[in-house]
Amino acid sequence: MQSLHAHLPPTTSPLHYALEFLKVLLRSLRERCAPIRDQAIDQLYTKLDEWRDPIPDATSNQSEGDSEPQGSRLAVLIVDTVKAIVSLAEYMKSDLNTAILGSMSEQDVKAFVLQQAKVRERELVVELWDAKQSPSGQVLRDKWRSWAALVSSSMETSFAPIPPDHKWIVRLMEQLGTNIAISCNVPNSFAPGSEELAVNQTQTPSNELPPHFFFVTPKLLYIQNYLQAITITASLRILVQLPGPRGHEFLDRVWSLLKMEIDEDVHGPPSELSSTKVINLADEVVRVKMPLEANQESQLREAVDRTLRPQDPVFMLLHRRLTEGLTRQLLDHMSAAGDTSRPGREIPDTLKTGRTIGTRPIKRARVDVPDHLNISPRSSKEGATAPVVIKGFEEPFLANEIQTILREIVVCITWVGMVWGDLVW
């Protein structure tokens, strides 16, 4: 590609020089390409090699206009060949990547994929929010800092002192703990019907994240719904007060209903359950409390309805405990991860010294992956496996679900920190 981009040297016959140049280039490509590309290169080379200038007729007076079509045909041949080489170069690049990935370890492949995903995500987000700004990235940095500064004083006091580079975690968990669905909307200039969207946003409370969360917002919305479901399950457990196996069976049945709800509609508001699901949950509570008088059943159904409302005092207390407990665990995890990531602190998983002794050294093409992207599979979840004990959620079933969603949160914040670390602090 660099050879094609370079200017041709001055010559009295640029078309003929280009013809010979392309033949040399094709021979060079033939030596470097995968065997599957040989036929395509040979066909291009044959077309160039078979070109012969027409022999002028000495008995005829050939004007300049008569010779022009021959030059035009040669120019068309050269242009078509250049286009074919450019297209062929893309295939060769794909072949090279395939060969490189085939010789890489699983960990190196994962790091390469992460690197490409990071680059592509940054390009798209910058293009949407920051393409016309100078210096590039300043708008994103300002949006991040203004968003992180909105953390409430009560949350900031509960976890003080908060390291400046971890303050965003507290802010994110505070938003996940609300009853308003989180969102990350594209700029109005890119969104169809932006005027109507802006009016709707002014009429309803907003729980918007900065652009850095654009690609993980669907996952975070699922996490928000998941946290609501855990709180609802814990609230109903307190309401029925069932010990032993019956309590375990009740939690399992209730959780199945709630899990089905959040899996079916991950884009719905987290604070709303369908009326059918509310009735089903009330039926489960009534079933385990039977036998009941008619008035007792109606009172129990009313109690279930109150418990499922986000404004219910028990629900609010449990949800706050859950959010704060997870936030504290995340801060501890990030602090521990920061300590273990310092230079000189890691111990290699395997020893490789001396492996090539007695064997012929082989040079292999490889992808140069930055160190901060070369993540071992355990690093992003290490620390999140520690038991999380939260008052009101001591039941092993609930503790297990909390552990599951904690791992998902760790994955999200690790990804955001890895992709945007240099454009936020």
Residue 375 pLDDT: 43
Residue at 60 is within a domain: no
pLDDT of residue 304: 87
Show the 3-state SS of 88-107: HHHHHHHHHHHHHHHHCCHH
Interatomic CA distance for residues 380 and 377, integer angstroms: 7
Task: Give yes or no: residues 239 and 290 share one domain.
Answer: yes
Q: Same domain for 229 and 93?
A: no
In a shared domain, residues 22 and 150: no
- Asked whether residue 282 is assigned to any structural domain, the reply reads yes
Residues 288, 412 within the same domain: yes
Asked, for residue 151, whether it belongs to a domain, the answer is yes
- Count the neighbouring beta carbons within 10 Å of the beta carbon of residue 142: 13
| pLDDT of amino acid 366 | 47
Q: How far is CA 34 from each of CA 29, 45, 368, 386, rounded to the nearest angstrom?
A: 9, 16, 22, 50
Residue 252: helix, strand or coil by DSSP? helix
Q: Assign residue 367 a region: left if phi > 0, alpha if psi is -120 to 50, beta otherwise?
A: beta
**Amino acid symbol at 41:** I
Residues 6+ apart with CB under 8 A from 281: 232, 236, 254, 257, 258, 273, 304, 308
User: Can you tell me the distance from the alpha carbon of 256 to that of 265, in angstroms, rounded to the nearest whole number?
Assistant: 15
Residues 167 and 258 occupy one common structural domain: yes
List of E strands, 296-419: none
Q: Which structural domain, as residue segments, surrounds residue 391?
A: 142-337+374-423
| Contact predicate 197/401, CB 8 Å | no
Residues 86 and 176 in one domain: no
Q: Are residues 83 and 221 in the same domain?
A: no
Query: What pLDDT is recorded for position 160?
Result: 83
Beta carbons within 10 angstroms of residue 401's beta carbon: 21
In the block, residue with structure tokens 């006091």: 157
93 shares its domain with 191: no
Going residue by residue through the chain (425 aa), what tens digit of pLDDT does each one get? 666 667 777 777 888 888 888 999 999 888 888 888 899 999 999 988 888 876 665 555 555 444 455 568 888 888 999 999 999 988 888 888 788 777 878 888 888 888 889 999 998 998 888 767 666 678 888 899 999 999 988 888 888 888 888 899 999 999 999 999 999 988 876 555 545 555 555 555 788 999 999 999 999 999 999 999 999 999 999 888 877 777 888 899 999 989 988 887 655 555 456 666 778 888 888 888 777 777 788 888 888 888 888 889 999 999 999 999 999 999 988 887 665 444 444 444 555 444 444 444 444 444 444 444 444 434 444 445 567 889 999 999 999 999 999 999 999 999 998 898 877 76
Residues 99 and 235 in one domain: no
DSSP 3-state percent helix, strand, coil across the chain (nearest 5): 65, 0, 35
Number of domains in the chain: 2
The CA angle 193-119-381, to the nearest 5 degrees, is: 100
Q: What is the pLDDT of residue 347?
A: 46
- pTM of the prediction? 0.70
- 412, 317: one domain: yes
Separate counts of helices (H) and strands (E) for the chain: 15, 0
281 with 401, same domain? yes
86 with 172, same domain? no
In a domain, 63, yes or no: no
Backbone angles phi, psi at 387, to 5 degrees: -60, 140
For residue 317, what pLDDT is reported? 94
Listed residue (224, 215, 121) closest to 172, CA to CA: 224
